[in-house]
Amino acid sequence: MHMHLHSFIIHYARFIGSTRFLGTLLLLLVYSLFQLVAAKPASAMLTARANHDHITIDFFYHGSSVSVRGEADPNVDLVIKITSPEGHQVLKQKGKVGGMLWMNVGQLKFENTPNFYEVFSTKKIDDILSRDEMEKYTIGYTALQKHVEVSPVANEEEKAKWFSEFVRFKEDSKVYATSFGKIETTMTKDGRQDYYILTDWPYQAQPGDYLVSVYAVKSGKVVEQAEAKVNVEQVGMVKALATMAKNNAAFYGFLSIGVALGAGFGVSLVFRKGGGAH
Amino acid sequence: MYLYLPVALTSINILVPVGLGLAVGLLSGLFGVGGGFLMTPLLIMFGIPSTVAAATDSNQIVAASTSGTYAHWKVGNVDFKMGLYLLVGGSLGGVVGVQGIKLLRAMGNADFVIKMTYVLMLGIVGVYMFVESLQSMKKNKNAVVEEAKTEKESAMGRFLKSLPLQTRFEKSGITHSVFVPIVLGAFVGILAAIMGVGGGFLMVPIMVYMLRMPMHVVVGTSLFQILFTCIEVTFLQAYTNHSVDFILAVLLLLGSTVGAQVGAVFGRKLKAEQLKILLAGIVLAVTVKIIFELTLTPSLLLSQAGGH
């Protein structure tokens, strides 16, 4: 269509034979095209920024806090999801043996599972997002259950049972959580919406990269998405020891034994006076 | 105050491991057990992954048993010769036990067999020691001559004396064939490997009732033997599983080395029967705790498996 308009203008310019007229027309055309492009989608960029996005673990680390803030359209709900990369996890499974004794009866493998999964939303997720959208973006435990593969399980019912046990296990170690109403929102002067959440970062969350995904939600659908990152890293002696335990295992073993022997003898010598002879 | 543990990947209040170390070290110095059957489940309860808990505990026991052995050696209560024979048997038994575990796993239902063996062993040892020490306490009071027992002993003694390579264990004041401690050590080694524990609670009664060693020498010799077993286990765990947490071990041993010394001093003030009945009580308490665990519905049906 633009091509047609373009050739029409050129023809018309030739017809008129005035270069000044042509220049003015071209300017008008460029301006109107620019207007067209700029006005296309109604939404105005969702932003997300994680403060304290580099958490360092030293000896005195006992968890931290992470805040996410940004701007969104005024009439949307927000969902914030923090996850670690997906992987597979093997867990021991307890069951009843002989109808009365609880013990480990086997292992369960969970595929496509993040080690860390937290979802916060302005309202209850079920009320603001359709099932399809939740599944598409893996938002909420129901969607995560569909996404995760559990083996060995006989049927969907069994999968559901063990997935809910899995969530309980993860929530118990503080690395899985869902909640709504914790995101604060305020309207800005220019009619936009500022959002902010401050959440505890559990010390149980392992070192690694975490992805913060923010979704703007309207009429049951995700209309916009923004991302930020949080990196958790061991530093100093904590890092040195953890690395040594993995990469220099023999030396680490000798060191541990040496220190234990030294401490045992050291304390003995201190106690020798008070110990008393025969 | 909290400290972060680089291998366990968790943070812990330092009073917890120091306090646990002190308590378990005390028992170690008193009774000559490593205390893994108490320490490992307690560490797991405080959020330490199970593999790290077991491995780090063995590292800590190296320190506690060094401290305890030294304290008992100072007063002449360690039979090094007996300890060495038991060690030889124990390591042979360990090798057999590890193969046994593989066999059990291949057959399936290994956990059931392991758990049942553990409960039965704890239960039998606890009840036997408890009843026996209660009886001997009564007998001592009434000053009854142990005629029946002497007769029984001599029958058993005749058999043991008929074995070749008899040797004298000066410190314990007994004579046995070298095969006796080696075979008994191997028996404990097999069971300990299968149950995944150090086996001190089995070794102590075996030394008391089968080798007929004096209780106070038993405690010192058992600690000496445990020291070497735990050095080996610590190294293997650090080398193959990367599961020893150095910082946690240091916190634990701060308490346990002191506890072991106090236990050794305190133990000298107690009579053999008193020591035995106290140990029996603890073993029985652990048995009851495991029985509860087996029968009550657990709060979580999933738990961390080895690795990650």
B25 falls in which pLDDT band (50, 70, 90)? Answer: very high
Question: What are A40-93's pLDDT values in tens digits?
Answer: 344 458 898 888 789 999 999 999 999 999 999 988 999 999 999 999 999 988
Query: Which pLDDT score, from 0 to 100, does residue A194 have?
Result: 93
First to last CA, chain B: 28
Q: Could you tell me the residue ranges of all domains in chain A? A: 2-38, 49-236
Averaged pLDDT, A184-191: 90
Task: Name the token pair of A76.
Answer: 């949307």
Restricting to A residues 195-214, those with a Cβ less than 8 Å away from any Cβ of B are: 203-204, 206-207
Query: Which pLDDT score, from 0 to 100, does residue A4 have?
Result: 54
A7 falls in which pLDDT band (50, 70, 90)? Answer: low
How far is CA B116 from each of CA B37, B40, B109, B111, B127, rounded to the nearest angstrom? 15, 18, 11, 8, 16
More confident residue, A254 or A21: A254
Chain A contact set for B257 (CB, 8 A): 263-264, 266-268
**Quick one: what percent of chain B has pLDDT higher than 90?**
39
Query: Which pLDDT score, from 0 to 100, does residue A37 have?
Result: 45
Tell me: pLDDT of A202 over 60: yes
Query: Which pLDDT score, from 0 to 100, does residue A42 have?
Result: 43
Of A184-193, A259-268, B159-168, B290-299, the range with the lowest mean pLDDT is: B159-168
Of A34-43, A58-67, A125-134, B89-98, the range with the lowest mean pLDDT is: A34-43
Query: Which pLDDT score, from 0 to 100, does residue B143 have?
Result: 57
A274 falls in which pLDDT band (50, 70, 90)? Answer: low
Q: Is the bond leading into A152 cis (omega within 30 degrees of zero)? A: yes
B98 falls in which pLDDT band (50, 70, 90)? Answer: confident
How far is CA B98 from each of CA A201, B62, B279, rounded to the nearest angstrom? 41, 22, 28
Question: What are B4-16's pLDDT values in tens digits?
Answer: 999 999 999 999 9
B290 falls in which pLDDT band (50, 70, 90)? Answer: confident
Helix (H, G, I), strand (E, B) or coil at A88: strand
The size of the A-B interface in CB pairs under 8 A is 188
Q: Which of A40-54, A237-251, B22-36, B129-143 has the highest mean pLDDT?
A: A237-251
**A227 bridge partner residues:** A213
Tell me: pLDDT of A210 over 80: yes
- Cα dihedral value B265, A270, B58, B292, nearest 10: 40
Query: Which pLDDT score, from 0 to 100, does residue A32 have?
Result: 55
Task: Name the token pair of A203.
Answer: 């010390």
How far is CA B171 from each of CA A140, B28, B81, B276, rounded to the nearest angstrom? 68, 21, 9, 20
Tell me: pLDDT of A161 over 60: yes
Averaged confidence pLDDT in chain A: 85
Averaged confidence pLDDT in chain B: 87
Closest CA in chain A for residue B243: A245
Asked if B300's CB is within 8 angstroms of A169's CB, the reply is: yes
Query: Which pLDDT score, from 0 to 100, does residue A203 have?
Result: 94
DSSP calls for A106-122? EEEEEEEEES-EEEEES
Tell me: pLDDT of A12 over 50: no
Tell me: pLDDT of A109 over 50: yes
Query: Which pLDDT score, from 0 to 100, does residue A29 have?
Result: 60
Restricting to A residues 8-47, those with a Cβ less than 8 Å away from any Cβ of B are: none
Restricting to A residues 160-189, those with a Cβ less than 8 Å away from any Cβ of B are: 162, 165-166, 168-169, 172-173
